[in-house]
Structure 1
Amino acid sequence: MTAATTPLQPLLHALLVTLRAPSQVWCSPDGQVHAHGLHGVYHADVRVLSQAEVRVDGELPEAIAAGGTGPGTFEASVVLRGIDGPGADPTTLLRRRRTVTPGEVTEELEVSSGTDVPVSGRVSVHLASDLARTETVKQGLPTAPVAPEVTSDGVRWSDDGTVVDVTAPGAEIHADHAGATLMWDVRVTPGQPVTVGWSVRSEVTAVVHAPATPAPEWSVPQVEADDRRLPALVTRSLADLDGLRMSAGFAPDETFLAAGAPWFFTLFGRDSIWAARLLLPLGTDLARGTLRTLAARQGTRTDPATSEQPGKILHEVRSQELKGEGGMSLPPLYYGTVDATSLWVCLLHDAWRWGMARDDVEGLLPALDAALGWMRDHGDADGDGFLDYADTTGHGLSNQGWKDSGDSIQWKDGRLAEGPIALSEVQAYAHEAAVGAADLLDALGRPGSHEWRDWAAALKARFREKFWLHDGDGPYVAIALDRHGAPVDSVASNMGHLLGTGLLDPDEERAVAHRLVSDDMSSGYGLRTLSTTSRGYWPLGYHRGTVWTHDTAIAVVGLAKAGLGAEAGVLARGLLEAAPHFAFQLPELYGGNEVGDGPGPLPYPAACHPQAWSAASAVAILTAALGLDPAPDGGLRATPPTPSAVGALDVDGLRVGGRSFRVRASADGAARVEPAQVEAAG
């Protein structure tokens, strides 16, 4: 295969998305769903329509405005100069209003005119479908149109697992092997708009589907801040998260957040856990649903083909085998993750502290015992005392932490680390999980707490001995240990996840903080994944120089928890500096170029947006800026770090258990906690 014919992953950065999980529409900035790239209407993991292109009298309209108008809604305004009256002013307008609900997309096409006399034209929508799997689209592989079937009320596409029905009241329908065209002849009188429309309903055999509950599982707080970027970011982020809410067929009454659109529109253990964890100050219902959903498919046996082990929390769920580059092939239920199990325990502990009902916590204790057992009995494959991973199948993920690309774990000189690999942040999660589990067991009067505190203390001692390195800028934590137990010497963002976990002492946390905000790591738009001093650094390298929103936010929360307010502020302001460049929808990741190097952060052209843990990062900034921590009596404590990263801040609608709170913090760090003035939505 030549370079000219090599399949290329489609780019996303310039496309607009409208979604209500598990349905999504990806279009160009003019609102058109063209027949190329990622464009399409998707349901679950199938592209049910690969084209939905509007023309008037055979001509493409000219867009003047387009964008989201609310959760699951979109509108494009286009001018129709081909049927317009005389003069320079555009006097014939088409508004394309799109609404996405789970399993259905509807469009209204409203034509209005400001001409002196009526105008006439033929409005058409050309539809096509390839019924391609999302992964096929992601790999840029060629697809072919599926021939439609004309029905009594529209047109249908179908295969063994998918049925797609289009209805178009009043339309003339022409269909052939390549697609179907819906047509309406309209005559528009000034002041009397004419509206036509169509809709598509889709059914796809899938493991995950949309939740039935209409409202989100969290509060929607009122936020006021001196830095006005923060309220805008919170508003947009929570709206995006609402569209990512899903449930699984094996836990249909529970809700979790899909990892991200378009590629990860399903349950991911690590991603869904982190998103729920960052949202805890807005309520525990999402955490409960996420914990229960993952517990329903917790590992029960040893199966090398799926990486399942007793007590292990899954990595991802798909409706069929997932094939990728380099011979990668993942089964529909895949457990190839080294960190999700410890993070599940951390989420349970944190949800308990934030007021999750005792009965709900106790109902998850068997899963807790199993998860702890995995950490002790299976997490350390090579017996060196650290949780590690290695793909034994030859077709699974070669890296199984959150940096899971093939070149993410490398030495300063660019060499790739050889597995089994023990990541630094994975040890921090395990330590935090063990200590948190011990506290939880004590609180519930259950045995075993001493064992887990001793286990955590031993891990902490081993970590201090093995993971610390020094260079000309001082001490830092290695990204990982390789198969020989050697510390991989890259300066990387992973060490930011250690802060606030209890794995480091205060002097060590200060050393890490110093490295995170240095010029080689902090771009001014957030935390780079890899230092610019590494040979492998590249500002658009997926895990080797880009900024990941959630990665920065986790470091911000950890820094604030460690009392390092100045450093937390540096990274928090970086995210706020980046947010307006992405219309306050912070994507999965973006370029590591520094402020002043170009008009803004470079878009990573294949980044998912919205992405669950990226959107949840807005709440992480609130948490850090207010120094939020639940109190043992069910109250809320606020100790804002100084200097403040956002000036004065007022948040009404925070939650601990069944109680709602308002926190008002001044720019100098004084804070007052009081009952919420108005119960927040949600």
Structure 2
Amino acid sequence: MIPKADLLAGDEIISATEILKLDDRIFDPNVRPNIETALALSSGEVGGWVVPFAAGTFEHHENVAEQGLFRCLFGRDSLIISSLLKQQNPALQINTICALAAFQGREFAWKSEEEPGRIPHEVRDSGDPQGARIAAESAWHFPYYGSIDATLLWIKALDEVAHNDPSILDRQINGQSLAQRAELAASWILNRLDSGSGYIRSNRANPQGILNQVWKDSGDSYLTISGKVATGSATVSVETISQTFDALIAASRLAKLSTYHWQFTPTELVFAAETLKQRLLNSWWLGDRFAMGLAVIEEKEVMLDAIASNQWRLLDSEILADFESSNLVKELVDSVTDTEILGPNGIRTLGKSNPRYRPGGYHTGSSWPMDAALIVRGLLRRGARAEANAVATKTIRAIEKVGAYPEFFRSDESEKLGISRFVIDVRDAQLTTSNRICQPPQMLQGWTIAAFSWFKQEKIQ
């Protein structure tokens, strides 16, 4: 029987296919591999560096449709995984930095969305079957560069490593030092801020590229509290502002450490960061929360006021670290355990009162362990241990009930152990296009493995 929990009024089902059977081994928690085994299954070698892939595949899922989609180096995913695991495996973070640096953009190329200084989103081998399928369907070239946060996370990661070992900045990657590559990445940020009217926007060069070039990259991810979806390609996401701030501050520190002379000074980088911070504080606070994004709807640029998980990611940033922001931090801490956003399996990607909320929607209601981990990390930074425990415990319990490390869980209890088993495509009444409203998660997701490990490391049980 086709599950109906994710259907909205006016949706017309195009197709519904059962992918995971009720007797699949992933529903048995006794077969969940330990952290070390799971990481080995979801890692690989790229350019001589052993790095975490976005996901792996269980042997019994090798021929299961919709599994094994992300078995490669991903900028965002691999950097977040290695960040969460850096205490127990610092080499993983260094390897990820170097592997991605080897593919740093050198020129403008519209099919791959390569840009000078840009860190890639997705690195696939020429024989990768998923890469071949995507290239045929969407005219992508690999490496594909269609994310704006990979470059930001890369600079921050390099700063973390260089803080303990400045000599890493002299390491040569394909004829350029990491210091030179950091300068190129910082230049990409400043150029994007300049062309984006003070923000880094999800502008895509390839019309068939990713629309929202951030973690919530689904086409229906960014919306208002009344459920109007932003479908343009110049959206700004609130957590990107904090990531940009952190990257600029990180770049200023790298410029000071570097023996290589940068084209801009640390002071200039800090000024750009502080300018961005004031934009956030002056324009994005809505009185009781931050807007999730800025986008054009009906030919007018508006703040997207939907309640979504994005705003709580600001806690895991230096952007709200000063006294001036303490009241805003308190609002975020106090609201994170509200049932509007905290569901049975962790943080909902979208508040449950939104007209577009779907409990299994990829970025419109589901609960991602990675999202929870970064929010919990931010809560701990603010000393909010009780709230951190409340969020983390739900996520940990969800993982412990299954024999896998799912990419995400449903944020309701309509399906077994919170795992969507069907792929459901509908004709969306608002979007007037086909929309995949439900799909099974990748069952061996790298950042879920890393999140679970990090929770244990932080002694959250």
- TM-score range normalised by the length of the shorter chain: 0.7 to 0.9
Of 52, 55, 68, the match for 1:260: 55
The answer on whether the counterparts of 1:539 and 1:545 sit within 8 Å (CA) in structure 2 is yes
> Is 1:377 equivalent to 2:154 in the alignment?
no
The answer on whether the counterparts of 1:338 and 1:379 sit within 8 Å (CA) in structure 2 is no
Q: 1:607 to 1:367 in 2, by over 3 A?
A: same
Cα deviation, 1:326-358, whole Å, max 9, x if unaligned, reads 9644323211101100010111112234x4x43
Report the number of matched residues.
400
> Is 1:455 equivalent to 2:233 in the alignment?
no
- In structure 2, the partner of 1:367 is 181
> Is 1:516 equivalent to 2:336 in the alignment?
yes
Counterparts of 1:612-627 in structure 2, within 5 Å, are: 612-622=446-456, 624-625=458-459
The answer on whether the counterparts of 1:12 and 1:608 sit within 8 Å (CA) in structure 2 is no
Q: 1:385 to 1:623 in 2, by over 3 A?
A: farther
| Structure 1 CA distance for aligned equivalents of residues 218 and 135 of structure 2 | 11
Paired residue secondary structure (1:387): coil
Of 376, 385, 388, the match for 1:556: 376
| Structure 2 CA distance for aligned equivalents of residues 413 and 623 of structure 1 | 40
> Is 1:536 equivalent to 2:334 in the alignment?
no
Q: 1:326 to 1:295 in 2, by over 3 A?
A: closer
| Structure 2 CA distance for aligned equivalents of residues 273 and 510 of structure 1 | 29
> Is 1:482 equivalent to 2:327 in the alignment?
no
The answer on whether the counterparts of 1:238 and 1:615 sit within 8 Å (CA) in structure 2 is no
> Is 1:604 equivalent to 2:411 in the alignment?
no
Paired residue secondary structure (2:35): helix
Aligned-residue CA RMSD (Å): 2.8
Q: 1:553 to 1:389 in 2, by over 3 A?
A: same
- In structure 1, the partner of 2:347 is 527
Q: 1:500 to 1:258 in 2, by over 3 A?
A: closer
Cα deviation, 1:621-678, whole Å, max 9, x if unaligned, reads 24555xxxxxxxxxxxxxxxxxxx54xxxxxxxxxxxxxxxxxxxxxxxxxxxxxxxx
Paired residue secondary structure (1:281): coil
Higher share of residues assigned helix: 2
The answer on whether the counterparts of 1:328 and 1:397 sit within 8 Å (CA) in structure 2 is no
| Structure 2 CA distance for aligned equivalents of residues 557 and 529 of structure 1 | 17
Deviation at 1:317, TM superposition (A): 2.0
Query: For structure 1, which runs of at least 5 residues remain unmatched after alignment?
Result: 18-28, 30-64, 71-235, 626-644, 647-682
The answer on whether the counterparts of 1:581 and 1:600 sit within 8 Å (CA) in structure 2 is no
Amino acid at match of 1:454: F
The answer on whether the counterparts of 1:513 and 1:567 sit within 8 Å (CA) in structure 2 is yes
> Is 1:501 equivalent to 2:310 in the alignment?
no
Higher share of residues assigned strand: 1
Paired residue secondary structure (2:376): helix
Counterparts of 1:618-637 in structure 2, within 5 Å, are: 618-622=452-456, 624-625=458-459
> Is 1:346 equivalent to 2:346 in the alignment?
no
- In structure 2, the partner of 1:290 is 96
| Structure 2 CA distance for aligned equivalents of residues 592 and 542 of structure 1 | 11
Paired residue secondary structure (2:118): coil
Amino acid at match of 1:315: H
Paired residue secondary structure (1:378): helix
| Structure 2 CA distance for aligned equivalents of residues 255 and 11 of structure 1 | 31
| Structure 1 CA distance for aligned equivalents of residues 229 and 290 of structure 2 | 18
> Is 1:434 equivalent to 2:251 in the alignment?
no
| Structure 2 CA distance for aligned equivalents of residues 238 and 259 of structure 1 | 16
Q: 1:333 to 1:564 in 2, by over 3 A?
A: same
| Structure 1 CA distance for aligned equivalents of residues 362 and 213 of structure 2 | 15
Counterparts of 1:147-162 in structure 2, within 5 Å, are: none
The answer on whether the counterparts of 2:122 and 2:144 sit within 8 Å (CA) in structure 1 is yes
| Structure 1 CA distance for aligned equivalents of residues 125 and 22 of structure 2 | 27
Deviation at 1:5, TM superposition (A): 9.6
| Structure 2 CA distance for aligned equivalents of residues 9 and 326 of structure 1 | 26
The answer on whether the counterparts of 1:328 and 1:396 sit within 8 Å (CA) in structure 2 is yes
Q: 1:358 to 1:443 in 2, by over 3 A?
A: closer
Q: 1:624 to 1:463 in 2, by over 3 A?
A: farther
| Structure 1 CA distance for aligned equivalents of residues 32 and 136 of structure 2 | 41
The answer on whether the counterparts of 1:579 and 1:586 sit within 8 Å (CA) in structure 2 is yes
Paired residue secondary structure (1:582): coil
Amino acid at match of 2:233: G
- In structure 2, the partner of 1:150 is none
| Structure 2 CA distance for aligned equivalents of residues 332 and 378 of structure 1 | 22
Paired residue secondary structure (2:203): coil
TM-score, reference length from structure 2:
0.80
| Structure 1 CA distance for aligned equivalents of residues 105 and 120 of structure 2 | 7
The answer on whether the counterparts of 2:316 and 2:375 sit within 8 Å (CA) in structure 1 is no
Cα deviation, 1:175-215, whole Å, max 9, x if unaligned, reads xxxxxxxxxxxxxxxxxxxxxxxxxxxxxxxxxxxxxxxxx
- In structure 2, the partner of 1:275 is 81
The answer on whether the counterparts of 2:111 and 2:139 sit within 8 Å (CA) in structure 1 is no
| Structure 1 CA distance for aligned equivalents of residues 168 and 394 of structure 2 | 38
| Structure 2 CA distance for aligned equivalents of residues 380 and 8 of structure 1 | 46
- In structure 2, the partner of 1:330 is 140
Q: 1:298 to 1:516 in 2, by over 3 A?
A: same
> Is 1:243 equivalent to 2:41 in the alignment?
yes
Q: 1:362 to 1:395 in 2, by over 3 A?
A: same
Q: 1:246 to 1:346 in 2, by over 3 A?
A: same
- In structure 1, the partner of 2:220 is 407
TM-score, reference length from structure 1:
0.55
The answer on whether the counterparts of 1:414 and 1:535 sit within 8 Å (CA) in structure 2 is yes
Deviation at 1:10, TM superposition (A): 3.5
Deviation at 1:459, TM superposition (A): 0.6
Q: 1:459 to 1:580 in 2, by over 3 A?
A: same
Of 409, 417, 422, the match for 1:590: 409
| Structure 2 CA distance for aligned equivalents of residues 388 and 498 of structure 1 | 17
Deviation at 1:291, TM superposition (A): 0.6
| Structure 1 CA distance for aligned equivalents of residues 202 and 223 of structure 2 | 15
Cα deviation, 1:90-119, whole Å, max 9, x if unaligned, reads xxxxxxxxxxxxxxxxxxxxxxxxxxxxxx
Paired residue secondary structure (1:239): helix
The answer on whether the counterparts of 1:554 and 1:620 sit within 8 Å (CA) in structure 2 is no
| Structure 2 CA distance for aligned equivalents of residues 346 and 590 of structure 1 | 29
| Structure 1 CA distance for aligned equivalents of residues 22 and 160 of structure 2 | 35
Q: 1:68 to 1:409 in 2, by over 3 A?
A: same
| Structure 2 CA distance for aligned equivalents of residues 12 and 325 of structure 1 | 30
Q: 1:247 to 1:13 in 2, by over 3 A?
A: farther
Q: 1:496 to 1:424 in 2, by over 3 A?
A: same
Deviation at 1:384, TM superposition (A): 1.8
Deviation at 1:580, TM superposition (A): 2.1
| Structure 2 CA distance for aligned equivalents of residues 569 and 422 of structure 1 | 30
Amino acid at match of 2:280: F
Amino acid at match of 2:389: G
| Structure 1 CA distance for aligned equivalents of residues 19 and 382 of structure 2 | 41
The answer on whether the counterparts of 2:236 and 2:295 sit within 8 Å (CA) in structure 1 is yes
Deviation at 1:600, TM superposition (A): 6.8
Of 367, 377, 394, the match for 1:547: 367
